Chains A and B, each alone.
Chain A
Amino acid sequence: EAGVAQSPRYKIIEKRQSVAFWCNPISGHATLYWYQQILGQGPKLLIQFQNNGVVDDSQLPKDRFSAERLKGVDSTLKIQPAKLEDSAVYLCASSLDGNTEAFFGQGTRLTVV
């Protein structure tokens, strides 16, 4: 079974630039999560989708972050414009129905300079 795929693995941008991350969940998984993991901290949920609908985006900084999950499969997370404090690892995860184990991708390490 293929795992959760994320790209790119690394990205370096200057502040005020924009960046996008892509996630392909495990086939058939209805729930998709985006987490932000700042160095030395645990992952923090940014947004959660159930199929193509948003379930929870209460911690998403909506003035600069956006996410979509078209057709209930792949998802993209965008930051525009980026700030220095956005430097982190962005993890995507998926689960079959949200009450089961969440499987994680390898993450994208973003460095904003």
Chain B
Amino acid sequence: AQTVTQSQPEMSVQEAETVTLSCTYDTSENNYYLFWYKQPPSRQMILVIRQEAYKQQNATENRFSVNFQKAAKSFSLKISDSQLGDTAMYFCAFMKPNTDKLIFGTGTRLQVFP
């Protein structure tokens, strides 16, 4: 069975600085998807970034980028130029294609300070 581990329950960063959130996963599959979701206090889960396992290039979305290490089964999220609006829970998630089942980690609470 697939598992997703986020070892940092809480992180904090000063506005405009860079922060990295860690995620590791366990799977025997070769092809899969990885996601980072943001959950602000409004509770709505918002997709931040997506990575296909067959792609070697790390995904990037504006200030958000990932460091995908397939052999190490690691999928960290880097937030550059942190903004107050980035304050939220961040969840790493795994999906095996054709099962459509999203498996989430336990989350990291990120606090951005002015």
Q: What is the CA–CA distance of A34 and B47 in the complex, to the nearest angstrom?
A: 17
Chain A: interface size category: 20 to 34
Q: What is the CA–CA distance of A48 and B96 in the complex, to the nearest angstrom?
A: 14
Q: A42-B91, A42-B107, A43-B91 are in contact. Are A102 and B44 (CB under 8 A)?
A: no
A73 at the A/B interface (Cβ < 8 Å)? no
B11 at the A/B interface (Cβ < 8 Å)? no
Chain A residue nearest in CB terms to B35: A101
Chain B: interface size category: 20 to 34
Q: A42-B106, A42-B107 are in contact. Are A99 and B100 (CB under 8 A)?
A: yes
Chain A neighbourhood of B99, CB < 8 A: 56, 98
A24 at the A/B interface (Cβ < 8 Å)? no
Q: What is the CA–CA distance of A101 and B35 in the complex, to the nearest angstrom?
A: 9
Chain B neighbourhood of A99, CB < 8 A: 33, 97-98, 100
Q: What is the CA–CA distance of A98 and B46 in the complex, to the nearest angstrom?
A: 16
Q: Give the shortest distance, in Å, between B112 (CB) and chain A (any CB).
A: 20
Q: A99-B97, A99-B98, A101-B50 are in contact. Are A43 and B104 (CB under 8 A)?
A: yes
Give B residues with C-beta under 8 Å from A.
4, 6, 33, 35, 37, 42-47, 50, 91, 93, 97-107
Identify 11 residue pairs between A and B in the complex whose beta-carbon atoms are under 8 Å apart, listed by A's number.
A41-B106, A41-B107, A42-B105, A43-B102, A45-B101, A56-B99, A89-B43, A95-B100, A99-B100, A101-B50, A105-B44
Give A residues with C-beta under 8 Å from B.
31, 33, 40-45, 48, 50, 55-56, 89, 91, 93, 95, 98-99, 101-107, 109
